[in-house]
Amino acid sequence: MKIQPLFKQHVMGHKLRYAIGAALLSMSCLLLLVIPQLLRHFTDGLQTLTLTGKDIMTMALGIVAIGLLTAFFRSVGRIQLFGLAREQERKLRNDLFAKWEGLSSEYFNRQRIGDLMAHAVNDINVMREVSTMGVFMTIEATVLIGVALVAMAGTIHIGLTLLVLLPLPALTYLAYRFRYHIQERTTHVQEAIGQLTSRVQEFCAGIRVVKAYAQEKSELKKFEEDSCHNREMNDQLIRSNSSFSSLSQVIVGVSYLLSVVFGGILVLRGDISLGDFVAFNTYLTMLIMPVENLGKVINTFQRGRAVDIRLRHILSTEPAVSDDDDVEPVAGGIRGKLEFRNLSFRYPDQQQLTLRDITLTVPQGSSLAIVGKVGSGKTTLVQLLLRLYNPPQGTIFIDDREIGSIPLQQLRESIGFVPQEHMLFSTTIGNNIAFHPHGYTSEQIEEAAKVAQVHDNIIAFPGKFDTSLGERGVSLSGGQRQRVSMARALIKKPSILVFDDSLSAVDAETEEHILNGLKAVMKGRTTIITSHRLSAIRHADQIIVMDQGRIVEQGNHQSLIRLGGIYASIYDMQTMNREMGG
Ligand SMILES: Nc1ncnc2c1ncn2[C@@H]1O[C@H](COP(=O)(O)OP(=O)(O)OP(=O)(O)O)[C@@H](O)[C@H]1O
């Protein structure tokens, strides 16, 4: 998908408002340019002693009036243009967030959080700078430089104007030379900030591990290294920026010198009046700032261009998992019959197959348990059911429909998924359970919490269900987090329930309570449980044992024990452990 440059898109969408803002700002610049003409008459009048007190008063009032009008037009124009820039900033952030929401797990596996944050915060700030200072200074510089030069050449002295203009192409050359340099260094700064943000984010997420392993010093050292790198990158950018700005000032200074020396000679020779000389130098003084700003404008647009390319790259990223155009919702809703047909799957960028030739049917309303060693592919199998990754065409069917032909929204709304890592949001416990745009009643929230065996824990908190959680729910224990996460899936009353090792952080007694509570909920719903603990799954209608991505044993608890294979040996070992423990 090709996207137009973002700034161009925004301007084209708000042509009239940009035109009004530009007109108001131009008006203020034009008014400002009247002042040198007033000074010219004033100086000539003084020199010829023809000025009256009334003339002086009129001139003073004129300058005040111009000052007030300039300020008025400038500030209204500024409000208009800056308002547009804020509008663009808001829209870009929303678009970026919406884009990220649509992208699949695969994309996020490849990104560092710090980089994503840098895009959302710093990159968009640069875009705002383009639309505020960039636009503002471009209009100001164009009008001030253009009109001042015409006034200088047309009304004062064309030769002198051309002379002071001579050094200016050097400024353009300079800007050209610095162009890629500054862009490159800006990218390095963004990367360094991304690295720093990732480091802080990772540190905060892993604070318990850092402390438990007494790694504070080494973490601080790593942070210092990143911090130094960030400073170095910023120093390099500052050096480039200041060299550019100093050299441009030297060039402007040369123009000024030429004006004073040769303008002075022209006055002495009587080619121009003293008033002309004063007006000429006032114009030149007025030019210095916009000419200097021209450098900043080029600089800002260069940075903007680099950011624009980056943001457009993100905004045009196609999600790896998305609906085809011809998807049709399953009439009457998904009921929950699952079928895997010769499913083999390899993660993108991986050589090895993670799942091999999985063939399996899970009748609607029945339960399937998946056991197997670490890394045998249990999570991968359930993630494919949610289409967090794309399974190969024709390998997974739900209610006899190929999974790819079911709208993603309907598919995911029909599955209550309790993932291995229990992500809780920094809001109340109630909101964490009722994680749905339409919300749920407090009775439904309490009921789900009861089935997940976390109700009693929650009402023991002073704020009960309104208790606010710290970021990622760190104020709850691992087991409590697991059960809140489970309540979130149960409240949906989905046709398919998936528990991915969801009982690992609860004790045997709580596990028993949860499983008893789940019996009623599971009635009529297809349920998949992956677990390392056989006690959690032995009542499942169907159990599969996975090894290196394959189903190596299949049956129910009794038949697998009779088989005397891997399942039986895990069962023996766990039973022995329990007996030794008890
Ligand atoms: N996003 C990914 N990209 C590439 N490889 C992955 C990805 N996720 C998992 N894998 C690999 O796929 C294999 C199966 O992982 P999976 O998480 O499905 O195993 P599991 O049986 O659920 O393990 P566990 O019991 O530890 O949860 C592992 O070798 C793992 O390294």
The full 3-state SS of 20-36, as one line of letters, equals HHHHHHHHHHHHHCHHH
Q: Is the CB of 356 under 6 A from ligand 1?
A: no
Collapsing DSSP to helix, strand or coil, 451 comes out as helix
Upper half-sphere CA count for residue 472 (Cβ side, 13 Å)? 11
Sign of CA dihedral 73, 75, 81, 84: negative
Give the model's pLDDT for residue 179: 67
Q: Is the CB of 52 under 6 A from ligand 1?
A: no
Q: What is the ipTM of this complex?
A: 0.96
Q: Is the CB of 414 under 6 A from ligand 1?
A: no
> Encoding tokens for residue 196?
């720093």
Residues 248 and 172: their CA atoms lie apart, in Å, by 9
Residues 341 and 551: their CA atoms lie apart, in Å, by 12
Q: How many CB atoms lie within 10 A of CB 518?
A: 23
Asked if residue 355 lies in contact with residue 380, where contact means CB atoms within 8 angstroms, the answer is yes
Please identify, by atom number, the ligand 1 atom nearest to the C-alpha of residue 349: 4
CA of 88 to the centre of ligand 1 (A): 41
Q: Say which residue the tokens 């943001």 belong to.
A: 311
Q: Where would I find the beta strands (DSSP E) of 74-228?
A: none
Q: Supply the residue whose CA is at minimum distance from atom 19 of ligand 1.
A: 375
Element (H, E) at 357: strand 355-362
CA of 378 to the centre of ligand 1 (A): 8
Residues 120 and 93: their CA atoms lie apart, in Å, by 6
Contacts 24+ apart (CB under 8 A), 372-376: 372/545, 372/546, 372/547, 373/546, 373/547, 374/532, 376/546, 376/547, 376/548, 376/549
Q: Is the CB of 350 under 6 A from ligand 1?
A: yes
Please identify, by atom number, the ligand 1 atom nearest to the C-alpha of residue 376: 21
Q: Is the CB of 186 under 6 A from ligand 1?
A: no
Collapsing DSSP to helix, strand or coil, 85 comes out as helix
DSSP 359-415: EEEE-TT-EEEEEESTTSSHHHHHHHHTTSSPPPTTSEEETTEEGGGS-HHHHHHTE
CA of 561 to the centre of ligand 1 (A): 27
Q: Is the CB of 348 under 6 A from ligand 1?
A: no
N-terminal to C-terminal alpha carbon distance within the chain? 62
Q: How many CB atoms lie within 10 A of CB 233?
A: 20
Upper half-sphere CA count for residue 369 (Cβ side, 13 Å)? 24
Residues 129 and 89: their CA atoms lie apart, in Å, by 10
CA of 368 to the centre of ligand 1 (A): 19
Give the model's pLDDT for residue 76: 95
Domains of the chain: 6-315 (1.20.1560.10), 333-414+497-504+525-582 (3.40.50.300), 420-493 (3.40.50.300)
CA of 373 to the centre of ligand 1 (A): 11
Q: Say which residue the tokens 């011809």 belong to.
A: 326
Laid out side by side, the sheet with 415-418 consists of 415-418, 496-500, 526-530, 367-372, 542-547, 550-555
CA–CA distances in Å: residue 173 to residues 141, 251, 290, 295, 466: 18, 11, 17, 11, 63
CA of 379 to the centre of ligand 1 (A): 7
286 backbone dihedrals φ, ψ, rounded to 5°:
-65, -25
pLDDT tens for the chain, 582 residues long, are 677 888 888 889 999 999 999 999 999 999 988 999 999 988 998 888 888 888 889 888 999 999 999 999 999 999 999 999 999 999 999 999 999 988 888 788 888 877 888 888 888 988 888 888 888 889 988 999 898 889 899 888 999 999 998 887 787 777 767 766 887 888 889 888 888 888 888 888 788 888 887 888 888 999 999 999 999 999 999 998 888 888 878 888 898 899 999 999 999 999 999 999 999 999 988 887 787 777 778 778 888 888 899 899 989 888 888 888 788 888 888 998 999 999 999 998 788 999 999 999 999 999 999 998 888 999 999 999 999 899 999 999 999 999 999 999 899 989 999 888 878 888 889 988 988 767 788 898 999 998 888 898 888 888 888 888 765 555 777 778 888 988 998 888 889 999 988 877 667 777 777 777 777 777 889 999 998 888 778 888 999 999 999 999 999 999 999 998 899 988 888 877 666 654
Instruction: Give the residue, out of 110, 344, 353, 354, with the most ligand 1 atoms within 8 A of its beta carbon, to mutate for a pocket test.
Output: 354
Residues 205 and 113: their CA atoms lie apart, in Å, by 12
Report which of 104, 128, 123 is spatially closest to residue 317, judged by C-alpha positions: 104
Task: Output the CA angle 522-430-425, nearest 5 degrees.
Answer: 100
CA–CA distances in Å: residue 324 to residues 6, 347, 458: 27, 21, 43
DSSP 58-81: HHHHHHHHHHHHHHHHHHHHHHHH
Residues 140 and 133: their CA atoms lie apart, in Å, by 10
CA 374 to chain centre: 33
CA of 504 to the centre of ligand 1 (A): 17
Q: Which residues pair with 496 in a beta bridge?
A: 415, 526
Asked if residue 384 lies in contact with residue 370, where contact means CB atoms within 8 angstroms, the answer is no
CA of 377 to the centre of ligand 1 (A): 6
CA of 70 to the centre of ligand 1 (A): 66
Q: Is the CB of 419 under 6 A from ligand 1?
A: no
> Encoding tokens for residue 224?
């210092």
CA 473 to chain centre: 22
CA of 374 to the centre of ligand 1 (A): 8
Instruction: Give the residue, out of 108, 343, 376, with the most ligand 1 atoms within 8 A of its beta carbon, to mutate for a pocket test.
Output: 376
> Encoding tokens for residue 94?
């929303």
Q: Is the CB of 372 under 6 A from ligand 1?
A: yes
> Encoding tokens for residue 83?
């308002």
Q: Supply the residue whose CA is at minimum distance from atom 4 of ligand 1.
A: 347
Output the pTM of the full model: 0.73
Collapsing DSSP to helix, strand or coil, 555 comes out as strand
> Encoding tokens for residue 261?
């020396």
Q: Supply the residue whose CA is at minimum distance from atom 5 of ligand 1.
A: 347
